Amino acid sequence: MLILDKPAGLPVHAGPRGGASLEDFLPALAFGKKRLPQPAHRLDTDTAGCLVLGRTKPALAELGGFFAAGQVAKTYWAVVRGGPAEAAGEIDAPLQKRSTAKDGWRMVVDAAGQPARTEWQVLGRGDDLAWLELRPRTGRTHQLRVHCAHRGWPILGDTRYGGGEGRLHLLARAIALPLDPPVAAEAPPPPHMLAALRRCGWRG
């Protein structure tokens, strides 16, 4: 397996519009294997940070099983507008995909949707921003982005869910896999998040 620090703005898979994607770099990550490594989970194009790849079919199947069973510990950092009044908590709000001809698709909170839970903790505050640690307990599409927006504190730079213009301030900060021995990795904040994190008290 491999764990990459994926840059923000780089899609994992090639899209219909073309342009660079992680797939372009997979041959350089084969390291002698005939089969190219493949992602074991999803990471949005605009999200930076830890991405796990399986190098063989058995490895990819085992990793996929860990993710499906919720056995992988995922930690995200986000800078949000406003922020919660409390120091920590949990968001339990089902998510469903909606699409219209005018606006395309998006995820919404809907009681008829799939269960989605996110634990959160405030790590710092400043200038009407908050720096949060987010721990998703389910793996729904856009879960963290929609949950934060649903609570009234959208992620900075999230144009789709009310976070304003700019680049998305969301980092897949750390990941831990239940292998023997356990494997864990941590990604540094991308350059575009540094100023906002420092405004919230980060000293890195």
Q: Annotated active-site positions, please?
A: 44
The residues facing 122 across adjacent strands are 132
Cβ distance 67 to 59 under 8 Å? Answer: no
What region does 68 belong to: left with phi over 0, alpha with psi -120 to 50, or beta? Answer: alpha
Burial class, 169, CB count within 10 angstroms (exposed 0-12 / middle 13-18 / buried 19+): buried
**Distance (Å, whole) CA 96 – CA 171:** 23
**Distance (Å, whole) CA 204 – CA 196:** 12
Q: Are strands 95-100 and 183-186 parallel, antiparallel or unpaired?
A: unpaired
